[in-house]
A and B are shown apart, each in its own frame.
Chain A
Amino acid sequence: MNNREEILSVSNLTVEFDTQEGSIKAVDDVSVSLNRGEALAIVGESGSGKSVTSQAIIGTLPMPPGRISGGQIYFDGQNLLELAPAKRRAIAGARIAMISQDAQSALDSRFTVGYQIGEMFRHHRGWSWKKSRAAAIELLDKVRIPNAASRVNDYPHQFSGGMQQRAVIAAAISLEPDLLIADEPTTALDVTVQAEVMKLLHDLKAELGLSMILVTHDLAQAYETADRVSVMYAGRIVEHADRDQIFGAPAHPYTRGLFAATPRMDQGDTELVVIPGTTPNLAALPKGCAFAPRCSYRQDACVTERPQAVTLAKGHTSACFLASDVYALGSPFSKGALDKGQEGETP
């Protein structure tokens, strides 16, 4: 489909969790792929399976109770799921790195920031502590922490929230990974700091040629950062498209609903449209489309049968019986609204 080199290819991934009420599918038959240097945004609400997908890719999925019951994850030509644990660990951190949403708890409060960056070199490359520390200073400098040489000995609690997230980013990019997974990297931060951190990620992506998966529920962030967007609902990908396609003409009612629920810069006063209902209980999904109970386009077929993905344009798929009708509605945004939003958030 794409001429460029494919770095990651997840196909038919299914992750189940064993719970008291039996096994639930947190991720159900998910396929995504990513080319080198590209950014993919996985968008969805809490519990949609977007974090579990990224955990499965990097290998931090808690097992048990989690269980990968189907699919493959090909990274740079090798199936990660068939790799020996030691080899898998050698890839984690070095070639696939991850940034989680809460930097404060992601850092170990009893070790200095410098140590936690330096141990990447120490562990993966066997460098001396002295050399690792020097590299950590360089990295802190790179993520724009002032006085890096002295801050390297600080403990995480001496850093502000934004600085903590930068330190986490520094550790993540330390070995120049091919793929960076950012799991809601700015959720825990103040709005102004959010913009700075996103800008930093942007610049680093360009500078290091990173491929990136951005897990987020923030559509504006997805729009700014991603080349392509996958929308997840109840463990499945309901819509997937290039950025401009999906923002130009979303083809799934859920995606449209998400767009309507996003605060927009161009319409400060209008009321937000909230998707009615709550996120579905994964243990008791309806037989048909999981979104059907909340969907305003619902038809009889939606309740009884699960819709398969249909292709609307090149690379644009939607798992909805009415995909082409929704697609025909075009953009829910007025022209330029998103760009304006982007300007507002990244000064």
Chain B
Amino acid sequence: MALWQDKIALLALIWLLVVMTATIGVDYLAPFNPTDQSLRMRLSPPMTPSPTSSLPHLFGTDALGRDLLSRIILAGQLSLAVGFSGVIVSGLVGVCLGLLAGYYGGRTDVIIMRAVDLQIGFPFLMLAIFILYALGPGFWNVVLVLAIVRWPVYARVTRGMTMSLREQQFIESAKVVGCGGRRIMFRHILPNLASPILVLATLEIARLILAESALSFLGLGVQPPGTSWGRMIADGRQYIGTAWWLVVAPGFFIFLTALSANLLATWARAVTDPVHRWRVLAGKRNRDEASNQNNAS
């Protein structure tokens, strides 16, 4: 099924592209300067007209009179940056270790997988909170912590697939031709793992955006003057009775962005993985095909 045929997945992709474009081009695309304060305009509800611009404050303003939508776009920079950086770092580490474990097997495999099992047994948020507390807050520390707690996911998936690929004919041929282990792993095995790893990475982006917002909400993530969506919710919390939009709007951005990433990953998995295809798409048709194969003989 092509992307444009799945309307929901297409909407998800459009949303992600819009959010990414807006956050990257915040200086040009945000309706207001996200740092411009106005005490007179503080805590204005959504759609309040602005005295300085023809555009209204679409989502209202915060306690310092800053335009909320512009703040959200600015905060999105950090939220998305943490998501992407975290995925890249944890993915690199996890995929490499997974390749090593799956390709070489034996002791390498035992050691790496023992570490993976050990870590998957730990409560991930708890671990992240504690490490971040010890390291101190900050962007790269958050990325580092998320990489530490999430690499085993990639390692596990990569290892499993590498092990099954290792036995296949074309890998054998590559060995016969005299390719070294590193060349086989990166030139022959890795390309075959690309699509499942990309699907996993998309799911993980959603997860890391949520995790970052939780850490920021707890005061362990991004520190002022920097801000992220989770931080905005934490800051707006004290006004929940009087200025609900401060909490509602940023949370909605997190929700839509994570939902879009999840929808896109679900769609991508359905398309690239025939085994999973029926799980996500037309369950019924495929279910009947399956039973049909069992019966038609």
Contacts and interface: CB of A to CB of B under 8 A. Distances in A.
* A touches B (Cβ under 8 A): yes
Interface of A: 17, 26, 46-47, 51-52, 55, 60, 62-66, 100-101, 105, 183-184
Interface of B: 284-285, 288-289, 291-292, 294-297
> In this complex, which of A46, A52, A62 has the most chain B Cβ atoms within 10 angstroms of its Cβ?
A62
B296 A184 contact: no
B274 to A, nearest CB: 13
A52 B291 CA distance: 12
A51 B289 CA distance: 15
B285 A65 contact: yes
A26 B285 CA distance: 17
B292 A47 contact: no
B152 to A, nearest CB: 34
A55 B292 CA distance: 10
Contact of A65 (B292, B294, B295, B297): B292
Contact of A51 (B284, B288, B296): B296
Nearest to B296: A51
A184 B288 CA distance: 21
Interface of A is mostly: loop
A184 B297 CA distance: 9
Contact of A46 (B289, B294, B297): B297
19 contacts: A17-B292, A46-B297, A47-B296, A47-B297, A51-B295, A51-B297, A52-B295, A55-B295, A62-B292, A63-B288, A64-B284, A64-B285, A64-B288, A65-B288, A65-B289, A65-B292, A66-B288, A66-B292, A105-B294
B289 A52 contact: no
Nearest to B284: A64
Contacts of B291: 62
A101 B294 CA distance: 10
Nearest to A49: B296
A66 B284 CA distance: 12
Contacts of B285: 64-65
Nearest to B282: A64
A52 B284 contact: no
B186 to A, nearest CB: 36
Interface centre among B285, B296, B297, by most chain A C-beta atoms within 10 angstroms, is B297
Given A62-B291, A65-B288, A100-B295, 17 more contacts: A46-B296, A46-B297, A47-B296, A47-B297, A51-B295, A51-B296, A52-B295, A55-B295, A60-B295, A62-B292, A62-B295, A64-B285, A64-B288, A65-B285, A66-B288, A66-B292, A101-B297
B158 to A, nearest CB: 32
Contacts of A63: 288
A105 B291 CA distance: 12
Contacts of B288: 62-66
Contacts of B296: 26, 46-47, 51-52
Contacts of A26: 296
A106 to B, nearest CB: 10
A125 to B, nearest CB: 28
Contacts of A64: 284-285, 288
A259 B297 CA distance: 19
B291 to A, nearest CB: 5
Contacts of A17: 292
